[in-house]
A = this chain, B = another copy of it.
Amino acid sequence: MSAPRAATPGPVPGEALHGRALELELGSSTQTSHRLLAYSDALLSIIATVMILPVAHTKIHPDQKLGESVQQLLLTKIAVYLMTFLIVTVAWAAHVRLFQVIELIDDVLALLNLACMMIITFLPYTFSLMASFPGVPFGIFLFSVCAVVIGLIQAVIVLYGFYHPHLLNQQIQVSENQNFYKRHILKIILRGPILCFLAAVFSFVFIPLSYVLLGLVIVFPHLSRFITWCKTKILGQRNEEEEHHSLETFSFYLSEPLSKERVEAFSDGVYAIVATLLILDICEDNVPDPREVREKFHGSLLEALSEYGPNYLAYFGSFVTIGLLWFVHHSLFLYVTKATRLMGLLNILSLAFIGGLPLAYQLTSEFAEKSHNEIEAIQVSCVITFFASIFQFAIWTTALLHERETLHLFARYGGKEHAFMFAKLALYPCVSLGAFFLTCLLSEFSTEIFHLMQIVIPFAFLALRIFVRISLTLIKSVMSLSRRKVVLLEEEEACLSPTDTLS
């Protein structure tokens, strides 16, 4: 009895069982892609986020005003982080698309995918070269070569998949015009590499143009989407019909534009790596030197450690922030039934700021020094937290715009769950904004305000449900008096014309 249970790790029961049936039929050479995708998500999310470490490790001396050279170095590293993050998310989105088409894998595909991952993990290095030598074409050239190779490997995966049709999505398997699908997915996958190829060619002629082309790689998917959206709005009815036609042919794309499971897996990876990077710094910087303890603190370890007090506070504060933001994200995606592209974009923007949190930790952990950078550090932390949480809030509002498709029944407008979700999502933006303005007003107590905020928030989350319940019952009891009359009137109407009220 337990054998078939363990054999279906696929997230969708129906499809997993289908995969299982196929697997048995073909022997084990064909496998469900579930674990391969989970591993790829983990790799991609870590590689997207890990480049914040060099940013966070740029040591700024507490007494040093942020000088030009330090600022330059910091900006370069932040640019590398952001470019890596955005490019990796583009590669991730293409990967999601690819494995929506190819649902089962075999050994060859697994090895090809690993080769693809290997080159993606190499991308941050090409960015580091680009950022250090912005005027030398070699950095761009190397990056473009990597991107082209990634595109080629993915194209080989597509061709292999269509050559062995039993690996494909069932909807495509039974479709009559497989070639059409093949061309479409190849177009999506090779779009970026072709732009990169052009960038590589132009890098030897006119470098700024190749930078523009690289920027286009990131913006292109959203840009093309935005243009079609504008077209539909301007041209109106006629285009809608056309879109309806293409909707039929691409129904399997539109039914779940980004796989919700993979959005969750990617986000989990980012949250997990950010939460754990913090302890590395603690372990490397905050273990006192045995000799120093002997000489300076007369052998008392406790005394030596008490110097690091603010660092521990900053560590736990940052961990709590990341943990709770994950918690909000988790709650939000429990209500969401599928992720649209816009929601995916907002999620990625939110994650980019989450990735910045180790920087916030590094800045706030220097509190003990009481330097004049202190308020700035707290304000940067508040801003990062604010943006990370406000983009989460934006995901929720976007989901509400199409609530029939994207939200569970019980989470839609009105009702207790809706109000509760709203309160959960609004908590962090409000508190971080409040802390920001308070530090502007009461600059002397900025440290205390910031730590108070970090300590209070977890309890606020626990008390939130009770708070929402009380306020809802208050609202209801106030409204029930006025509503009772309306209900009586409606019931009378219903008696008079029952068919009308049913529609």
Contact = CB atoms under 8 A, between A and B. Distances in A.
A104 B16 CA distance: 22
Contacts of A290: 132-133
B46 A121 contact: no
Contact of A335 (B28, B301, B330, B411): B28
Interface stretch (A226-234, A275-283, A350-358): A275-283
A480 interface: no
Contacts of A481: none
Contact of A129 (B11, B107, B287): B287
A2 B279 contact: no
Contacts of A51: 283
A230 to B, nearest CB: 28
A129 B283 CA distance: 9
Interface string A259-295: 0110011001101110111111011101110100100
Contacts of A36: 330
Contact of A319 (B121, B128, B256, B276): B121
A6 interface: yes
Interface size class on chain A is 35 or more
Contacts of A53: 280
A408 interface: yes
Contact of A276 (B50, B129, B331, B409): B50
A255 interface: yes
Contacts of A9: 11, 261, 264
Interface stretch (A60-68, A109-117, A193-201): A109-117
Contacts of A334: 28, 31
A462 B326 CA distance: 40
A139 to B, nearest CB: 8
Contacts of A337: 2-3, 6-7
Contact of A46 (B12, B276, B293): B276
A437 interface: no
Given A8-B13, A114-B327, A334-B28, A462 B108 contact: yes
A283 to B, nearest CB: 5
A484 interface: no
Nearest to A459: B111
Interface string A484-496: 0000000000000
Contacts of A11: 8-9, 11
Given A46-B272, A268-B39, A284 B462 contact: no
Contacts of A138: 301-302, 305
A458 interface: yes
5 contacts: A6-B260, A28-B417, A38-B264, A110-B327, A121-B276
Given A111-B462, A114-B326, 18 more contacts: A3-B337, A7-B337, A9-B11, A27-B417, A28-B410, A36-B330, A38-B264, A39-B268, A42-B269, A50-B277, A54-B280, A111-B327, A121-B279, A122-B282, A124-B279, A125-B282, A125-B287, A133-B290
